[in-house]
Amino acid sequence: MSLFSPDVFGDVHVKNRVFMAPLTRMRSDNDGVQGELAATYYSQRATAGLIISEASQISELGKGYPCTPGIYSEPQIQAWKKVTAAVHAAGGVIFLQLWHVGRISHSSHHPKDGLPVAPSAIKPSGQVYTSTWGLEDYETPRAMTLGDIAELKKAYIHSAQMAKDAGFDGVELHAANGYLLDQFLQDGTNQRTDAYGGSIENRCKLVLEVLNDIIPIWGAGRVGIRLSPYGTFNDMQDSQPVKLFTHLIEALNSLHLCYLHLIEPRATTAGGNDAISSDAPRTGQLFGKLFKGKVVLAGGFNADNARQALTDGEAHAIAFGRAFIANPDLPKRLETGASLNAYDRSTFYGGTDKGYTDYPTLA
Ligand SMILES: Cc1cc2nc3c(=O)[nH]c(=O)nc-3n(C[C@H](O)[C@H](O)[C@H](O)COP(=O)(O)O)c2cc1C
């Protein structure tokens, strides 16, 4: 299996297995409306087998950083329409990543709603960006009531429908990197004593319910999910990650999703710094073969270890993050062995076209 051969993932034809990982760029306006440059940025990367959009909040309360895009209001949808049209005109395929940050937030992002919410009132360690880009300690989140969970599920349904109206080709449910759904999965953050906490089955319940809610909108063949077993980003931990994620992945098998997207924990801060942990557990090895459908792997891949992961049967596609920021024509560069542009970390988040739409392509 070559990185550059086409394939079918669920209901979606992909022209190669070099996918663009979801990448938050914080260049929307304060209301979560994408800027004019987003259509150029994404369409420049349309040679990816699949583009997975930056994480997009499903509600104001789901927002945790300044200037991230939303997928719940009419102006947001109109702006996203320009992005999906430009990607399609360039021959690309694009999924939207549905996001709720849970406790990884600050009340300044959602003053009407007050404190961030989470499965349990456990404060993350570290600091958070406020709505004015200041850094403050995290607040202790409010534990969600059953009523809050019912509202949350409605917000996922609404956003999944909005993503369809905006012209996306599918959605990826963000259940990774320590955000709300991951907070429900892992026992370091979920200490509930009701039907959504305690046993592994109970902790997996919300993720499965949300999937079952959005599958009727899209069809299972256009819904993917992202998980990060062993990931420690955003102060995460679980006492039995193999048991937890084995149970979840086996439960996912019956849903016939478009794909399962797993992040290798060696990319220690989810790409937030350059450290690669050589002794981190190998997610692809541990979990890739448990899933009966297509598997996407991400985290610290280059042309060589990507080919190896495909050859070893751990994955059917590789999602590249930082390399795609700096190399709009990444599939071509990997295929021809051309050198890669280096990325500029200082322009990852916020700012202008610099480090966004101005990376050069090969002649
Ligand atoms: C600038 C930046 C933004 C990111 N934003 C997201 C995001 O919105 N959603 C997500 O699931 N992961 C996000 N990630 C993680 C990446 O998708 C990817 O898993 C990580 O960068 C490791 O892959 P890489 O080694 O190819 O860069 C982000 C990473 C970076 C560097």
Q: For residue 23, what are the domain limits?
A: 7-347
Q: What is the pLDDT of residue 268?
A: 65
Counting beta carbons within 10 angstroms of the beta carbon of residue 80, is it exposed (0 to 12), middle (13 to 18) or buried (19 or more)? buried
Query: Is 250 domain-assigned?
Result: yes
Query: Is 2 domain-assigned?
Result: no
Q: What is the pLDDT of residue 272?
A: 73
Closest atom of ligand 1 to CA, residue 348: 1
Annotate 261-271 with b (16+ C-beta within 10 A) or e (fewer).
Answer: bbbbbbbbebb
Backbone phi, psi, residue 260, to 5°: -110, 125
What pTM value is reported for the model?
A: 0.98
Query: Is 261 domain-assigned?
Result: yes
End-to-end CA distance of the chain: 28
22 CA from centroid of ligand 1 (Å): 6
Which residues have a Cβ under 8 Å from the Cβ of 117 and sit 6 or more positions away? Answer: 61, 102, 103, 141, 142, 143, 144, 148, 180
Cβ(261) – ligand 1 distance below 6 Å? no
Query: Is 282 domain-assigned?
Result: yes
Q: What is the pLDDT of residue 78?
A: 98
Query: Is 137 domain-assigned?
Result: yes
Query: 260 is written with which tokens?
Result: 């399962």
74 CA from centroid of ligand 1 (Å): 27
Q: What is the pLDDT of residue 122?
A: 98
Cβ(322) – ligand 1 distance below 6 Å? yes
Q: Whose CA is nearest to atom 29 of ligand 1?
A: 271
CA dist 190 and 186 (Å) reads 6
Query: Is 189 domain-assigned?
Result: yes
pLDDT mean by block of 10 residues, the chain; 363 residues? 95 98 98 97 98 98 98 98 98 98 98 97 96 96 98 98 98 98 98 98 98 98 97 94 97 98 84 76 93 97 96 96 98 97 97 98 92
Domain count, the chain: 1
Give the domain CATH number at 217: 3.20.20.70
Cβ(224) – ligand 1 distance below 6 Å? no
Q: What is the pLDDT of residue 277?
A: 75
Q: What is the pLDDT of residue 113?
A: 95
Query: Is 361 domain-assigned?
Result: no
Q: Whose CA is nearest to atom 23 of ligand 1?
A: 299
Query: Is 163 domain-assigned?
Result: yes
